Structure formats: structure tokens, C-alpha cells
Amino acid sequence: MFGLSTLRRVAGELRRDVASAHERDPAARGVSSIEILAAWPGVQALLAHRVAHVLREQGVPGAPRMLALLSRSFTNIEIHPCAQVGDGLFIDHGTGVVIGETAEVGDNVTMYQGVTLGGTGFATGKRHPTVEDNVTIGSGAKLLGPITIGHGSKIGANSVVIHDVPPNSTVVGVPGHPVRVEGVRPEGPDADWAHLPDPVADAVKMLSARVAELERRIAEAEGAPAPADVVPLHHRRGPDPAGG
């Protein structure tokens, strides 16, 4: 059942999972690998999944699901034993992460708390997302259905993605849509994790400006006083309450 080659494979995957925590978690700088194994729930959940997945491949009945259930109880991270997870997945914090049965996760993927790789409906077969290599998925994002998230993409926090995402894209919103593709911004400012663009707010601002311009023109045509402009409020000077 468990040959030396299988044990070497699981050990190698575990080493790469620990290395990804060292590389991508600032809190892990200077922390030993033993401490990461003992205290990082994302790494613990991946270790349990690696073993459960091997047991599933070997046809062992019951044990893979029981191991996944125990892992979920201890880590609050649910990974189905059938899910295919590549090397170097880093699950930061991890609370509430769900990876479904037919999900496929590539190499060097980063997920934050509350991420769901879920299905839609009750159809059998492939019904969960495929996440390609080097993808980053923000807190609370929901990826639903048999969609593909292209290599190197970023999914903004709390986005709901129900369509394929091109490689090297940044996706935000509900439903999610790209605001940057292959280095070119279709709309909105450049995206970063601290200040993701808000296309809905931008659209409302454009509509408000258009309405104000139309009101001004109507007032001029009728000889009436121009409507008062809406002046944005400015923050008083002083320290940023958010700590910025």
C-alpha cells in the first residue's frame, strides 16, 4: 500500500508546503519548520490531505474521508480527498477554506481565509474550479463551477467568480470581472491588494457627473439658476485612523 516511493513523494510535497509558508508568510520568517508543522493550520491541513489523497488513490475505504473530517475539525479547512492539489500551495490563516471534490489546484498557489472552490447544482462529473499555477486568491473569494483561473491571476477579496479568467488577470466584484488582463487595464486604476479598484463606484461617479452636466445645460437653456455643485467632503488633516 504505502511504498517507499509514496512516502518519499508525500515527504517531498510536505517540504515544499513548509517552504511556501516560509516564503509567503511574513509571520513565518525566522520560524523553524517544526514550529510551522505544529502551529500553521494551512500546512497541517495540506499534510492531512496529502495522506488522504494517497489513501484514496490506493483504494482504501473510509479512511480518506475520516482523515479529511478530522483535519477539518482541527484546522477549520476542508479539502476533499479527491481534490488534486499541486506543490507549494500556501493557505494563510485558513479559517473557512473549502476545496471541493473535483477541484484542481496548480503549483505555488496562495489562498487566504474564507476561500471556496465550490460547485454549482447537483450535476456529477467535473463541477469545481481549476486553478492554474501562481494564482493568488483573496480572502472570502468564491470560485464556483467548472471554470478555469488562468496562470498568474489574482482574485480580489470577496469576489464571486463564475466565468473563466484569462491568464495574468486581476478580477474583482460580484460577479467577478477582470480589471487588468496581461498587463493592460480594461478600466479603472491599477490594481493592488491594498487598494483594489471599484468599477461600480467609478460607474456611479461617472453617471453623477453626467447628470450634473445635463442639469447645468437645462438650467442654462431655461434661464434658471444653475444647480449647486456637489462638493466632495475632504478629510481633516491628522493621523489616519486606519493606521496609514
Q: Write down the domain spans for the chain.
A: 4-181, 198-228
CATH number of the structural domain 4-181: 2.160.10.10
Instruction: Provide the mean pLDDT of the chain.
Output: 82
Residue-level pLDDT at 199: 65
Q: How confident is the model at residue 65 (pLDDT cuts 50, 70, 90)?
A: very high
Measuring CA to CA, how many Å separate 3 from each of 8, 9, 10, 198? 9, 10, 11, 52
200-210 tens-digit pLDDT: 667 788 888 88
Least confident interval from 60-64, 107-111, 133-137, 226-230: 226-230
Q: What are the cell numbers at 4?
A: 517507499
Does residue 213 register a pLDDT over 90? Answer: no
Run of H or E including 110: strand 110-111
75-133 tens-digit pLDDT: 999 999 999 999 989 999 889 999 999 999 999 999 999 999 998 877 788 999 999 99
Please name the residue that has the C-alpha cell 487588468: 180
Among residues 204, 209, 169, the alpha carbon closest in space to that of 186 is found at 169
**62: which strand partners?**
none
